[in-house]
């Protein structure tokens, strides 16, 4: 019996978990987190103050105090049954990394004790030579260090009865270059904080800190684990390389927001409960558009914490699903022909005086502040659309952008009808020479209606990659497997740079004797005018937009190898270096790493594609071909006329054709791969893998294989079909 058939007959109806009572969320929330409340309980006054100062203003923690903190953490962790600790970091592989050490150790006389010293809390040196480094570390100095990030609280990962204390850390090379997602993110948050505080101070002197906020929405698929195991493509690549569309997919739209299937529901409750213990504030769960597709979203948090929580969530979900005989597919495009998965990044900034800088506010003063930040964001995206696109470029996201209900690869900004009008009004007024009288008008007549209007009336345009949604911008082009730190780092940096320019320009006008408000308004107006072409309110999925975008001169880079160029061009290098986010060599290393990731992913897909064709798709097809041939021969031998086996012959013809074509194409693809592999230059190689391997062969090979799927005897077919993967759970 094939794996497919046995998996099909073993799909459980539901799981026992359904019978479990979910505890009241507030009673478990954060129970596995060393948060401030726990810190207060387990730390001395000095240690507590030190951790607080470090969280609030990034103050360095003294080594002596660190020893004290480590002791307190261990005491807390041991009270929860923890035996090991690990530095938890986010290398550029895209997953999280950990290396566990026990608290247990031996004293010099052999006495066993448990300890966690301050040095081990602050810094570790994992043997990290095999993490991607883009040439930053020669193997002779292949050391990498992890360093504690006190702004994200330690937490306990629980697997069965095993419990490990995880310390969020950054990961840097021996020579200080960042090798992870977190270090640059923290730098970008800091850069934006400084630039934003300066601009806030035009309006409110009391603002001393601006926090970046992020609320992600995670889309994912859930399928039966048995069926998953019968698909080498899912196991190796996270997406199906073969599979004919099922007769029904999402056209009836009966899955979206429908009732959640029982087994999936049990799984959701289970993983949500784990998330609550870890302090991940999940709020929303629902079915998404495609069959077997779902989404969850938390309450937004400070960006660094939100990023940690999202990477942690992906890990938790994947693990917990197995308990329910299910598999989570986080890939951007697990199934051809239906919706892919994204991870909307809702982004805003808020002040330590409690103001959301992208909320339109009620008073005229804060309105002008809102307008400044709102328009600066548009300008930032306009000026740096290319690097924002690069930040979300990956092999899997290429399948999604511009395909089936996903934003295009063209970056544009949607702001809605009302704010479009506001911006047009500003343009008119400022251009008609503002005078003193206008200054009062500046204290705009937009102030009363905006909040209500926007929030009730968010004429949301679902097709925009970057949309204003009432009190935040939503970056929708981010892929579902992405580490949000990548787009967030870029967004923070381009915003920081734009705000810095803004301040310089406003100050320049003030120095020339212009009144502050008028100066601000004038620069806002300049920004509106100079970034107009990035604004688009229409249907982002349409072909008409592709044409118009081209006329407007907006880039439309559909493939990762080319989209990544923007990371290292002159303008963007200056952007990152000047703002202290990446050094020149860090940028080039990252570019190299992203290209290598791309190459490897496509390479693995190519290999699996070939292997599956020859070992899983052609064999049942050839068996069926034989059967038909025998049948025809039998009928012929029995003296029947050609008419009697005409249909069999027709099927046989088709099968033979698809077998031959698929087989030929696989051979050709192998040749193309060999050629690509011989290319030295990483960028050229990535381009070759895209154009000469993937684009040229994948769809074609698949076409013939999928045709065979429709022709060959169903019970002989090895690979679980789309209808089974998508509808049985």
Residues that bind ligand ADP (CB under 6 A): 213-215, 217, 284, 297-300, 344, 346-348, 356, 471-472
Q: How far is the CB of 484 from Mg ion (least distance, A)?
A: 13
DSSP assignment letter at 556: B
Contacted by 311, from ligand ADP, Mg ion, none: CB < 5 to 8 Å by type: none
Q: Which residues of 380-393 are buried (b: 16+ CB within 10 A; e: fewer)?
A: bbbbbbbbbbbbbb
Q: How many chain residues interact with Mg ion (CB under 5 A)?
A: 2
Tell me, residue by residue from 172 to 211, as one string, x for binding to Mg ion by CB under 5 A and - for no binding.
Answer: ----------------------------------------
CA distance 723 to 534: 41
Residue with CB nearest ligand ADP? 215
Torsion (CA) 397, 402, 405, 410 in degrees, nearest 10: 100
Could you say which of 4, 32, 344, 721 contacts Mg ion (CB under 5 A)?
Answer: 344
Q: How far is the CB of 26 from ligand ADP (least distance, A)?
A: 18
Q: Six-digit token pair at 201?
A: 């101070």
**Contact indicator for 528, 537 with CB cutoff of 8 Å:** no
Interface segment toward Mg ion; rule CB under 5 A; list 213-221, 231-239, 307-315, 420-428: 213-221
Would you call 557 helix, strand, or coil by DSSP? coil
Q: How far is the CB of 181 from ligand ADP (least distance, A)?
A: 19
Q: How far is the CB of 471 from Mg ion (least distance, A)?
A: 13
In the bound state with ligand ADP, the residue whose beta carbon lies nearer, of 347 and 582, is: 347
Contacted by 239, from Mg ion, ligand ADP, none: CB < 5 to 8 Å by type: none
Would you call 235 helix, strand, or coil by DSSP? helix
In the bound state with ligand ADP, the residue whose beta carbon lies nearer, of 76 and 300, is: 300
In the block, which residue shows the tokens 């073969």?
242
Contacted by 472, from ligand ADP, Mg ion, none: CB < 5 to 8 Å by type: ligand ADP
Q: How far is the CB of 160 from ligand ADP (least distance, A)?
A: 31
Q: Six-digit token pair at 439?
A: 């200054």
CA distance 470 to 324: 38
Q: Please report the sign of the dihedral spanned by the C-alpha atoms of residue 522, residue 527, residue 530, residue 534.
A: negative
CA distance 170 to 587: 17
Q: How far is the CB of 455 from Mg ion (least distance, A)?
A: 15
* Interface with Mg ion, residue 343, by CB under 5 A: no
In the bound state with ligand ADP, the residue whose beta carbon lies nearer, of 238 and 540, is: 540
In the bound state with ligand ADP, the residue whose beta carbon lies nearer, of 25 and 299, is: 299
In the bound state with ligand ADP, the residue whose beta carbon lies nearer, of 348 and 531, is: 348
Q: How far is the CB of 350 from ligand ADP (least distance, A)?
A: 7
In the bound state with ligand ADP, the residue whose beta carbon lies nearer, of 240 and 471, is: 471
* Interface with Mg ion, residue 239, by CB under 5 A: no
Q: How far is the CB of 516 from Mg ion (least distance, A)?
A: 36
Q: How far is the CB of 215 from Mg ion (least distance, A)?
A: 9
* Interface with Mg ion, residue 87, by CB under 5 A: no
Tell me, residue by residue from 27 to 66, as one string, x for binding to Mg ion by CB under 5 A and - for no binding.
Answer: ----------------------------------------
Q: How far is the CB of 553 from ligand ADP (least distance, A)?
A: 29
Interface segment toward Mg ion; rule CB under 5 A; list 15-23, 217-225, 281-289, 675-683: 217-225
In the bound state with Mg ion, the residue whose beta carbon lies nearer, of 239 and 344, is: 344
Q: How far is the CB of 205 from Mg ion (least distance, A)?
A: 35
Contacted by 297, from ligand ADP, Mg ion, none: CB < 5 to 8 Å by type: ligand ADP
Q: How far is the CB of 718 from ligand ADP (least distance, A)?
A: 38
**Contact indicator for 696, 672 with CB cutoff of 8 Å:** yes
**Contact indicator for 406, 342 with CB cutoff of 8 Å:** yes
Q: Please report the sign of the dihedral spanned by the C-alpha atoms of residue 359, residue 361, residue 366, residue 367.
A: positive
In the bound state with Mg ion, the residue whose beta carbon lies nearer, of 163 and 460, is: 460
In the bound state with ligand ADP, the residue whose beta carbon lies nearer, of 213 and 625, is: 213
In the bound state with ligand ADP, the residue whose beta carbon lies nearer, of 297 and 567, is: 297
Q: Which residues of 632-658 are buried (b: 16+ CB within 10 A; e: fewer)?
A: beebeeeeeeeeebeeeeebbeebeeb
Contacted by 89, from ligand ADP, Mg ion, none: CB < 5 to 8 Å by type: none
* Interface with Mg ion, residue 472, by CB under 5 A: no
Contacted by 50, from Mg ion, ligand ADP, none: CB < 5 to 8 Å by type: none
DSSP assignment letter at 532: G
In the bound state with ligand ADP, the residue whose beta carbon lies nearer, of 306 and 587, is: 306
Contacted by 640, from Mg ion, ligand ADP, none: CB < 5 to 8 Å by type: none
Which 3-state string (H, E, C) describes 169-231? EEEEECCCCECECHHHHHHHHHHHHHHHHHHHCCCCCCCCCEEEEEEEEEEEEEEEHHHHHCC
Q: How far is the CB of 454 from ligand ADP (least distance, A)?
A: 12
Interface segment toward Mg ion; rule CB under 5 A; list 272-280, 344-352, 377-385, 562-570: 344-352
CA distance 57 to 54: 6
Q: Is 337 left (phi over 0), alpha (psi -120 to 50) or beta?
A: left
Q: How many residues does the chain have?
A: 729
Contacted by 169, from ligand ADP, Mg ion, none: CB < 5 to 8 Å by type: none
Q: Please report the sign of the dihedral spanned by the C-alpha atoms of residue 550, residue 552, residue 553, residue 554.
A: negative
Q: How far is the CB of 357 from ligand ADP (least distance, A)?
A: 9
Side-chain-facing half-sphere of 149: CA atoms under 13 Å:
27
Beta bridge partners of 163: 158
- DSSP characters over 631-645: HHHHHHHTT--GGGG
Phi, psi dihedral angles at 282 (to 5 degrees): -60, 140
Phi, psi dihedral angles at 341 (to 5 degrees): -115, 135
Alpha helix (H) residue ranges in 384-515: 385-391, 395-398, 416-431, 436-442, 450-457, 485-511
CA distance 88 to 100: 9
Over its C-alpha atoms, the chain yields an Rg (Å, rounded) of: 29
Contacted by 220, from ligand ADP, Mg ion, none: CB < 5 to 8 Å by type: none
In the bound state with ligand ADP, the residue whose beta carbon lies nearer, of 195 and 430, is: 195
Side-chain-facing half-sphere of 269: CA atoms under 13 Å:
16
In the block, which residue shows the tokens 């996903």?
406
In the bound state with Mg ion, the residue whose beta carbon lies nearer, of 217 and 386, is: 217
Chain residues binding Mg ion by CB under 5 A are 217, 344
């Amino acid at each position: 019996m094939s794996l497919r058939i046995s998996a099909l007959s073993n799909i459980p109806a539901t799981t026992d978990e359904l019978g479990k009572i979910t505890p009241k969320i507030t009673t478990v929330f954060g129970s596995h987190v060393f948060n401030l409340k726990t810190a207060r309980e387990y730390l001395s006054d000095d240690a507590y103050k030190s951790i607080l100062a470090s969280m609030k203003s990034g103050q360095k923690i003294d080594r002596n105090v660190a020893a004290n903190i480590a002791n307190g953490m261990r005491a807390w962790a041991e009270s929860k049954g923890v035996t090991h600790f690990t530095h938890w970091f986010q290398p550029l592989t895209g997953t999280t990394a950990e290396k566990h050490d026990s608290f247990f150790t031996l004293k010099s006389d052999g006495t066993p004790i448990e300890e966690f010293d301050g040095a081990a809390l602050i810094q570790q040196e994992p043997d990290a030579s095999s993490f991607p480094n883009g040439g930053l570390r020669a193997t002779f100095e292949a050391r990498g260090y992890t360093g504690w990030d006190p702004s994200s609280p330690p937490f306990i990962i629980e697997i069965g009865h095993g419990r490990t204390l995880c310390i969020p850390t950054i990961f840097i090379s021996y020579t200080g270059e960042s090798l992870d997602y977190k270090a640059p993110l923290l730098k970008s948050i800091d850069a934006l904080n400084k630039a934003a505080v300066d601009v806030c101070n035009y309006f409110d002197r009391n603002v001393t800190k601006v926090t970046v906020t992020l609320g992600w929405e995670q889309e994912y698929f859930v399928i039966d684990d048995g069926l998953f195991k019968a698909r080498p493509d899912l196991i190796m690549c996270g997406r199906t390389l073969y599979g004919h569309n099922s007769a029904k997919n999402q056209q009836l739209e009966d899955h979206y927001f429908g009732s959640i299937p029982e087994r999936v529901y049990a799984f959701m409750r289970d993983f949500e409960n784990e998330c609550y213990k870890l302090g991940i504030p999940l709020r929303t769960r629902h079915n998404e558009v495609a069959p077997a597709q779902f989404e969850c979203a938390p309450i937004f948090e400070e960006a660094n914490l939100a990023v940690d929580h999202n990477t942690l969530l992906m890990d938790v979900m994947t693990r917990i699903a197995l308990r329910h005989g299910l598999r989570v597919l986080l890939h951007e495009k697990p199934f051809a022909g239906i919706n892919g998965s994204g991870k909307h990044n809702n982004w805003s900034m808020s002040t330590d005086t409690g103001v959301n800088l992208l909320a339109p506010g009620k008073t005229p003063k804060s309105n002008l502040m809102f307008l400044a930040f709102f328009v600066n964001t548009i300008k930032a995206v306009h000026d740096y659309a290319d690097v924002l696109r690069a930040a979300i470029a990956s092999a899997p996201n290429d399948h999604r952008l511009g395909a089936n209900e996903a934003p295009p690869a063209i970056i544009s900004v949607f702001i809605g009808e009302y704010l479009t009008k506001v911006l047009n009004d500003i343009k008119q007024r400022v251009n008609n020479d503002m005078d003193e009288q206008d200054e009062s008008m500046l204290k705009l007549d937009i102030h009363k209606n905006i909040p209500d209007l926007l929030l009730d009336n968010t004429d949301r345009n679902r097709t925009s990659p970057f949309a204003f949604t009432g009190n935040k911008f939503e970056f929708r082009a981010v892929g579902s497997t992405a580490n949000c730190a990548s787009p967030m780092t870029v967004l923070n940096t381009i915003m920081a740079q734009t705000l810095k320019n803004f301040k310089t320009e406003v100050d320049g006008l003030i120095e020339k004797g212009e009144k502050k408000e008028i100066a601000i308004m004038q620069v806002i107006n300049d920004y509106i005018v100079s970034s107009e072409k990035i604004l688009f309110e229409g249907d982002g999925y349409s072909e008409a937009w592709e044409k118009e975008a081209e006329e407007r001169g907006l880039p439309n880079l559909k493939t990762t190898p080319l989209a990544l160029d923007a990371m290292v061009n002159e303008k963007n290098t200056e952007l990152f270096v000047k703002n202290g986010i990446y050094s020149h060599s860090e940028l080039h290393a990252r570019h190299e790493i992203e290209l290598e990731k791309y190459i490897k992913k496509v390479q693995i897909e190519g290999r699996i594609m070939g292997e599956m064709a020859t070992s899983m798709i052609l064999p049942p097809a050839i068996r069926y071909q034989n059967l038909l041939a025998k049948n025809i021969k039998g009928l012929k031998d029995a003296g029947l006329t050609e008419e009697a086996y005409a249909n069999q012959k027709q099927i046989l013809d088709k099968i033979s054709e698809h077998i031959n074509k698929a087989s030929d194409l696989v051979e050709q693809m192998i040749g193309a791969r060999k050629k690509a592999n011989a290319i030295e230059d990483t960028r050229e190689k990535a381009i070759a893998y895209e154009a000469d391997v993937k684009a040229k062969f994948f769809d074609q090979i698949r076409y013939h294989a999928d045709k065979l799927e429709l022709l060959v005897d169903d019970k002989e077919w090895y690979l679980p079909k789309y209808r089974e993967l998508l509808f049985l759970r």
